[in-house]
Structure 1
Amino acid sequence: MTDARLLGADEATFIAAVRSGDTAQFALITERHRRELQVHCYRMLANYEDAQDLTQETFLRAWNKRESFKGHAALRTWLYRIATNACLDFLEKRNDRTPVPSELPDPGSEVPYLQPYPDWMLPEDPQESVVARETIELAFIVAVQHLPPRQRAAFILRDVLGWPASKAADALELTVASVTSALQRARVTMREQLPDRRLDWRSPATHELSDDERSVVKSYIDAHERNDLDGLMALLRDDLRFTMLPEPGTLIVTAKDAVDGWVSSGLFQRGYDDWRCITTTVNRMPAAVLYLRTPDDPEYRLFNIAVLHIVDGKIAELTGFDVTDKPWLSLSATL
């Protein structure tokens, strides 16, 4: 085994814990990496609950394979390799983890298994590449889902995390040439899926919401609570892209059609017109958590999370997540 004196502190302590069978020390060391590994699994799977499960699976596999860690690579790298392959194994067994064509003539597609990622679960002191806003926003996560699993892994390891080709090839048990080819194909797909977005994921990135975004989400909440359809409509871009998840077939690409659909389904009508909302952030994006009080109910109950992509003071994309009777992301079930 590699001489512990030549290793980093984490690697040396990890090897010592393996040699002594110290499960508590093993858990303490690996737990430091939980949040960034969970973000990695989320990018691979686009589902917060699955990412939690696969992170736990990563730690289980790490324990079972603990004797294989010789310190030739950083412990963090070794754990990422296990997490990546755990996600690939998961995707191989799940045919429902690919985008499906929308019912509209628009060539877009839907990702019904998409879930938002709560900002409070992001690493507290992250490396820039791990949680750069441009690589955690919903549009990016959806775009990545259009990549075949191994292309997806190669793209995330190389272009998001900035791993060298040889390191990514080792993690994926592929040749450098295969990883390079997969990455080139992945970049083409990402350009098609995100034509108006920055595609250099390793350049300086933003983290914080702008004043413009904070103002729009405040106005969105105010319009909701006042049942002000005109005010709500004024916040939406004409070419709004609206999706309600997890239900398939809800992709709508104009503001008018979206608002007409909300009204025809009963929203803002009697029984669905008493709202209270709070602001939050998910995927480093502004979001409104909507609570509804129905007649004869003394409490406002968790109803929907609306995640907003704001461009030039208007809502360009609105992704709604149905959370009725599903207390989630540590949100209160009632107000």
Structure 2
Amino acid sequence: MRADMRLEELGVSRLGGSGLGEVDEPAFSGLAERHRRELHVHCYRMLGSFEDAEDTVQETFLRAWRRRETFEGRSTFRAWLYRIATNACLDLLAKCRPEPATGGEVRWLQPYPDRLLDELPAGEADEPETVAVARETIELAYLVAVQHLAPRPRAVLILRDVLGWPAKEVAELLGDSVNSVNSALQRARAGMREHLPAERQDWTGGEEDAGTRELVRRFTDASVATDIDRLTAMLHDDVRCSMPPTPGLYVGRDSVVNNWIDDGFEGMTGLRAVPTSVNRQPAVAFYHWRKREGAYLPLTIDVLRVTGGAITEITTFHDDQFPRLGLPERLPADGTE
């Protein structure tokens, strides 16, 4: 009876032993599409790349359609899709990234726009702990740490700690024993502690407070003015700065500032900024005046992590990310250039 109820959720009253074999492709696509955004976020956590996650969700739907007759209602359709998606991620990692990230740097990291995160189902929105976990585990600091784990412990961590799957179900998905899953989870948690902020309360997590908003405003103004001294005063002693996919991780205030100076940031003119947010973190999109085009064109996006009134991390992304984040492709002249 429980299986029948789950099948009825799909609009399929009786399948016998044929799984979803009697469902036509448009109907099946409609069922699967309901879960696209949450599957995409799941794959994004596994892979760290928005584009790879998109490809993997497409692969998930293709595999699900080809294997539809294997679904017999013993689990929810949603859980069945998560199983397929997780295995698709593991297959991609084995093929394209046989070794996890090292050294605190993830060159394939891409941002995830908040406007798309807002599409996630709100069924558990009334649970504060669930909301906090969802926010913290989409932040860039978490994603970078996850990418330093081997693929299978990574999958265990996300399935157990983020999605809340029981150890038995994770073991069935991975073809492991419950003991192996529990052991992998312990290793994964230990690995995360090596790369996450020292204290959990150091995370941006939750809504930005007035102090954070004011700090971001001052950072924006100082950046547009290319005022190195003002920017330096806002940085934490051990601030970290990276610009994936460009190699290089700069740690410490002096290292970060010297890199800015070496790159010719000091004295740069013709900048404008647009505030935004990605990965549930404050971000600033910068545009640079191009006289030939008569407009400000995309330059970079800075995603900030703020701790204790100081900027503790700046992750900068290139202009190719602007369209995905829903940012303008250009800003008109303002009469000052």
User: CA shift at 1:6, angstroms?
Assistant: 3.4
The question of whether the paired residues in 1 share the 8 Å contact of 2:56 and 2:85 is answered with yes
Query: Do 2:284 and 2:301's aligned partners in 1 also have CA atoms closer than 8 Å?
Result: yes
SS of equivalent to 2:251: coil
1:309 corresponds to 2:305: yes
| Deviates most, 45-54 or 8-17 | 8-17
Partner residue of 1:161 out of 144, 160, 163 = 163
CA 1:221 to 1:80, structure 2 compared with 1: closer, same or farther past 3 Å? same
**Contact 1:132-1:207 at 8 Å conserved across structures:** no
Q: Deviations over 1:226-255 (max 9, x none)?
A: 22222222221122111121111x211122
Deviation track 1:24-51 (CA, whole Å, cap 9, x = no partner) reads 2211111111111111000100011111
The amino acid across from 1:30 in the alignment is A
CA distance in 2, matches of 1:19, 1:90: 27
TM-score of the aligned structures, taking structure 2 as reference length = 0.87
> Residue 111 of structure 1 is aligned with which of 106, 109, 121?
106
In structure 1, the residue matched to 2:154 is 152
| 1:3 CA displacement | 8.5
- For the residue of structure 2 that corresponds to 1:7, the secondary structure is helix
Shift of 1:94: 1.1
By how many angstroms is 1:4 displaced?
6.6
What is the one-letter code of the residue matched to 2:31? Answer: I
Partner of 1:180: 182
**Which region of structure 1 is more displaced relative to structure 2, 147-156 or 256-265?**
256-265
Q: CA deviation at 1:210?
A: 2.3
> Residue 69 in 1 paired to residue 71 in 2?
yes
Percent of counterpart pairs with the same letter? 46
**Over aligned residues, Cα RMSD in angstroms?**
2.5
CA displacement at 1:195 relative to structure 2 = 5.3
Matched, 1:245 2:249: no
- Distance 1:285-1:97 versus aligned 2 partners, 3 A rule: farther
Residue 105 of structure 1: aligned partner: none
- 1:257-308 CA distance string (max 9 Å, x none): 3222212222243xx4211111111111101111111444411111111010
Which among 270, 274, 282 is matched to residue 278 of structure 1? Answer: 274
Residues 146, 4 of structure 1: CA spacing in aligned structure 2 closer, same or farther, 3 A cutoff?
closer
Q: Provide closer, same or farther for how the CA distance between residues 59 and 237 of structure 1 changes in structure 2, counting only shifts above 3 A.
A: same
Q: Provide the secondary structure at the position in 1 that maps to 2:74.
A: coil
Question: By how many angstroms is 1:188 displaced?
Answer: 1.2
Is the 8 Å Cα contact of residues 275 and 291 (structure 1) preserved in structure 2?
A: yes
| Ranges in structure 1 where 5+ consecutive residues have no aligned partner | 102-108
Regions of 4+ moved over 3 Å: 2-6, 11-21, 123-131, 294-297, 324-328
Tell which deviates more after alignment, 40-49 or 17-26.
Answer: 17-26
Find 2:88's aligned residue among 74, 86, 91: 86
Is contact 2:139–2:280 with CA below 8 Å preserved after alignment? Answer: yes
Select between 177-186 and 12-21 the one with higher mean Cα deviation: 12-21
Aligned to 1:262: 260
Alpha-carbon offset, residue 175 of structure 1:
1.4
Rounded to whole Å, the distance in 1 between the matches of 2:225 and 2:2 is 67
SS at match of 2:193: helix
- Judged with a 3 Å threshold, the aligned counterparts in structure 2 of structure 1 residues 144 and 238 are, in CA distance, closer, same or farther, namely same
Question: What are the superposed Cα offsets for residues 175-224 of structure 1, whole Å, 9 maximum, x if unpaired?
Answer: 1111111111111111222251339x9xxx95422222222111111112
- Runs (5+) with no aligned partner, structure 2: 332-337
Distance between the aligned counterparts of 1:72 and 1:255, measured in 2?
Answer: 55
